[in-house]
Amino acid sequence: MTTILDGKTCADKILDNIKEQVSKLDTTPGLAVILVGNNPASSIYVKNKEKKAQYAGFNSIIHKLPKNTTKESLLNLIEKLNKDCNIDGILLQLPLPKHLNTYDFLDKIDPKKDVDGFHPINAGKLLLNEKPYAIPCTPKGIIRLLKTHNIQIEGKNAVIIGRSNIVGKPLSMLLLNENATVTIAHSKTKNLPEITKKADILISATGTENMVTAEMVKKNATIIDVGIIRKDDGKLRGDVDFDAIKDVASNITPVPGGIGPMTIAMLMENTLELHLLKTRTKE
Ligand code: NAD
């Protein structure tokens, strides 16, 4: 029988646990989100993050900057937030408008406030399997969901479709650190089905609907669908042909209700961890 890996229930439990921890603190964790421009998907993500941060009892601040924001004013805001002792986590919502280069900004965020784990220091720590200040939220959420369902990672063949700096690359490190044998496929990969059919754990993060079909999946594999495709009717779809695959796989994540909520829960967990790191260092 196929198990649906319910990310929403898992994420809700994590958030309740965070809320309880926060209620026992004398201090309040602070999360600052920077949104540049009016990308509709980004605006929805930022609103969801704010809702969950408020639920957890955080001090949540959104900085909405106009689409034509200059490099200088964005750098100034990051610098201000780096110095603000009420802020523990700084999140720069991606993608940025085309005139701004993401990598001009990610390394300006204090690595100890880098709640997304995208700073080169945190990426390097992950590569070296030394504890980063924060681990990227989506990959961290995937590992947490697998572990919550007692899905063995060690010794398994894990195949990731997608090599982005946000999902595929950090996830490959986390899986490797958990002793999986990891393959990363991407848009130039040849004979993709031959590779995916060997996966005990198959993760797809491309943003292409029906990227993963039943013929590409090994029987009883675990399928993790990271993709988010917003259809014209507003409904969300993932990369995976869920209906066709759910009877082949032993575990599968839905979209929505799978990795999306786990990502937000990990963002809140990272914020709390950075807050605790700061307060404990001060003691
Ligand atoms: P990206 O565009 O940076 O990367 C996409 C990757 O997919 C690339 O590495 C590319 O080589 C690969 N790819 C594209 N077409 C392919 C093909 N035909 N065959 C093999 N590989 C192919 O995207 P990203 O930022 O990593 O996001 C990927 C998807 O995951 C998007 O739909 C995004 O919205 C979603 N996402 C979801 C969450 C979440 O919380 N659930 C978080 C981050 C991203």
Question: Contact 251/224 with Cβ under 8 angstroms?
Answer: no
> Distance from CA of residue 50 to its chain's centroid?
16
Mean pLDDT for 164-176 is 98
Maximum Cα–Cα distance across the chain: 56
Ligand 1 centroid, distance to 139 Cα (angstroms): 13
What pLDDT does residue 32 have?
98
Structural tokens at position 51: 């809702």
| pLDDT, tens digit (0-9, with 9 covering 90-100), for 113-136 | 999 999 999 999 999 999 999 999
Mean pLDDT for 172-192 is 98
- Nearest residue to 116 via CA among 263, 281, 7, 14: 263
Per annotation, catalytic residue among 88, 116, 225, 241: 116
What pLDDT does residue 282 have?
72
Q: Is 21 a catalytic residue?
A: no
Reported confidence tier of residue 217, pLDDT bands at 50, 70, 90: very high
Cα distances (angstroms) measured from residue 129 to each of 14, 73, 122, 133, 196: 24, 35, 10, 12, 26
- Bridge partners (DSSP) listed for residue 223: 202, 252
Cα distances (angstroms) measured from residue 194 to each of 79, 159, 191, 251: 48, 11, 6, 20
Mean pLDDT for 160-179 is 98
Instruction: Give SS3 for 270.
Output: helix
| pLDDT, tens digit (0-9, with 9 covering 90-100), for 8-64 | 999 999 999 999 999 999 999 999 999 999 999 999 999 999 999 999 999 999 999
Q: Is 116 a catalytic residue?
A: yes
| Angle between helix 7-23 and 40-56 (nearest 10) | 50
Residues with a CB atom less than 6 Å from ligand 1: 138, 161-164, 166-168, 185-187, 189, 192, 205-208, 226-228, 259-260, 263
Question: Contact 119/107 with Cβ under 8 angstroms?
Answer: yes
Structural tokens at position 59: 């001090």
Cα–Cα distance, 163 to 184 (Å, whole number): 7
| pLDDT reading at 189 higher than 90 | yes
Rg (CA), the chain: 19
Reported confidence tier of residue 283, pLDDT bands at 50, 70, 90: low
Q: Is 243 a catalytic residue?
A: no
Cα–Cα distance, 86 to 113 (Å, whole number): 11
| Angle between helix 259-282 and 7-23 (nearest 10) | 20
Residue nearest to atom 5 of ligand 1 (CA): 206
Ligand 1 centroid, distance to 194 Cα (angstroms): 20
Backbone angles phi, psi at 174, to 5 degrees: -60, -45
| Dihedral (Cα; 119, 125, 126, 129), 10-degree rounding | 180
Question: Contact 226/138 with Cβ under 8 angstroms?
Answer: yes
- Nearest residue to 175 via CA among 199, 196, 193, 195: 199
Q: How many residues does the chain have?
A: 283
